[in-house]
């Protein structure tokens, strides 16, 4: 990646050490994270759980370079993310991370193909190559033939597939998924989880997913539970569980 050097030999892909996050000050201060240590290896599928206000979403925002910690060290592939400028963090995010959200976040008046092309436009990819990669991404999520449908013409599950294609079109090393099945029924939710698991298993994409649903968390290899701004527990999930 231009303007920065990343060294990853012998190190965890993601490493958090004594991360804190405080919003506000004085008596109004909110301690969202109180000293979090976490390591995620390349190729892992990690589910992050916890009640509202436990710190899981704050942690995800820091991991995805959408927010910065108050103190502590975040290393990505050995690089101290805290040493980067705002532009440097944006460059890191743009080149290494894909994002999928509960609300899909699709542009309502543009086609599925155009929605998937957006990250490539920001990268300056030529139009012909952009169309080709976006079509490939839609094919990978099972939406071949739906390229010119707008979100209003797609089901919730199809919209989330478009969102996943948009995240995957840049070929990210890490896919950050925030409640990706939260707006879907159980059948469509399982389909989305199978899709995420296939990208993890077949392409080696590291997946970090926030979820309230224990059934969906079982698709991951490891579950990390937050409580009161700290990691309360970690457990390995039975491989292949899909309850």
The pLDDT of residue 243 is 42
Q: How far is it, in rounded angstroms, from Cα 206 to Cα 172?
A: 9
Torsion angle in degrees (nearest 10) through CA of 95, 200, 198, 50: -100
Can you name the residues that pair with 16 across neighbouring β-strands?
Answer: 38, 74
Tell me, what's the pLDDT at 229? 97
> How many angstroms separate the CA atoms of 207 and 223, rounded?
12
The tens place of each residue's pLDDT in the chain, 243 residues long, gives 444 556 555 689 999 999 999 999 999 999 999 999 999 999 999 999 999 999 999 999 999 999 999 999 999 999 999 999 999 999 999 999 999 998 999 999 999 999 999 999 988 999 999 999 999 999 999 999 999 999 999 999 999 999 999 999 999 999 999 999 999 999 999 999 999 999 999 999 999 999 999 999 999 999 999 999 999 999 998 754 444
Distance from C-alpha of 46 to C-alpha of 192, rounded to nearest angstrom: 15
Structure tokens at 85: 């400028």
Order of strands across the sheet with 79-80?
A: 30-40, 14-23, 71-76, 79-80
Other beta carbons less than 10 A from residue 58's beta carbon:
22
Q: Where are the domains of the chain?
A: 46-57+90-236
What is the per-residue pLDDT for 5?
Answer: 54
Pick the CATH number of 46-57+90-236 from 3.30.70.1520, 3.40.190.80, 3.40.50.300, 1.10.1280.10: 3.40.50.300
Question: Between the CA atoms of 51, 228, 235 and 203, what dihedral angle is there, to the nearest 10 degrees?
Answer: 70
Q: Are 211 and 179 in contact (CB under 8 A)?
A: yes
Quick one: pLDDT at residue 238? 73
Is residue 64 within 8 A of residue 97, CB to CB? The reply is yes
CA nearest neighbour of 15 among 69, 87, 88: 69
């Amino acid at each position: 990646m231009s303007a920065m050097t990343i060294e990853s030999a012998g190190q965890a892909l993601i490493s958090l050490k004594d991360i804190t996050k405080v919003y506000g000050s004085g008596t109004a201060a909110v301690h969202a994270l109180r000293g979090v240590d976490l390591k995620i290896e390349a190729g892992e599928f990690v589910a992050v759980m916890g009640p509202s206000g436990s710190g899981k979403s704050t942690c995800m925002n820091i991991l995805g370079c959408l927010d910065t910690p108050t103190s502590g060290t975040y290393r990505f592939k050995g690089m101290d993310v805290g040493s980067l400028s705002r532009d440097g963090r944006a460059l890191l995010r743009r080149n290494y991370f894909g994002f999928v959200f509960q609300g899909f976040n699709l542009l309502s008046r543009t086609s599925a193909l155009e929605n998937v092309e957006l990250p490539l436009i920001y990268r300056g990819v030529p139009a012909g190559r952009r169309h080709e990669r976006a079509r490939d991404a839609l094919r990978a999520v099972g939406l071949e033939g739906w390229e010119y449908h707008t979100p209003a013409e797609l089901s919730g599950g199809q919209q989330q597939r478009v969102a996943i294609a948009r995240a995957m079109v840049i070929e990210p090393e890490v896919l950050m998924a925030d409640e990706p099945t939260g707006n879907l029924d159980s059948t469509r939710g399982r389909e989305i989880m199978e899709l995420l698991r296939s990208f993890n298993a077949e392409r080696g994409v590291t997946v970090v997913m926030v979820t309230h649903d224990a059934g969906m968390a079982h698709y991951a290899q490891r579950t990390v539970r937050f409580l009161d701004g700290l990691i309360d527990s970690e457990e390995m999930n039975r491989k292949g569980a899909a309850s």
